[in-house]
A and B are shown apart, each in its own frame.
Chain A
Amino acid sequence: MSIFKLAWRSVKQRPLASILTMISVALGVALTIAIVSLRDSAHRSYHETSRGYDAILGPTHGSPLQIVLNTMFHVGDAGGTLPWATYERAKNDKRVKYAVPYAVGDYFRGKPVVGTSTAMFEALMDPENVPLGKNINGVVFRDGVHFEAVAGSIAAAETGLRRGVKFKVTHGPEGGWEHGEEWTVVGILRPTGTPADRAIFIPIETFYEVGDHKTAGDQRKKRREEREAEEEREREHGHEHGADTHTHEDDHGHEHGTKEELGLSAVGIRLKSPILRLAYVAEFKSDRATVQAVMPADQVRQLFEVVGSVDRFFELTAWLIVLVAGIGILVSLYNTIQGRRREIAILRAMGATPRHVFAVIVLESVILVVLGGLFGLVLGHAGLAMSAPYLVERFGVLVRSGFGTLDLQVMGALAVFGLVVGLLPAWRGLRTPVAENLHPTE
Chain B
Amino acid sequence: MFSPVYISDMNCVTPLGLDLQDNWIAILKEDTGIDVHTVGCFENIYTAKIKDLPTVRTDLTYLERMLYLTLEPMVRSKPLGAKTGFILSTTKGNIEFLSEGKSEEAQLHKLAFKMSSLFGFITRPIVVSHACVSGVLAVSVAKRLIQTGQFDEVFVLAGDKVSEFVLSGFNAFQAMSAKPCKPFDSGRDGVTLGEAAGAILVTKSPEHALVEIVGEGAINDANHISGPSRTGEGLYRSISSALNEAGIDASAIDFISAHGTATPYNDEMEAIAFDRLGMNDIPLNSLKGYYGHTLGASGLLELIISILSLRHNKLIPTKGFVSRGTSKDVNIITQKMDVPLTYILKTASGFGGSNAAAILKKVNG
Q: Are A and B bound to each other? A: no
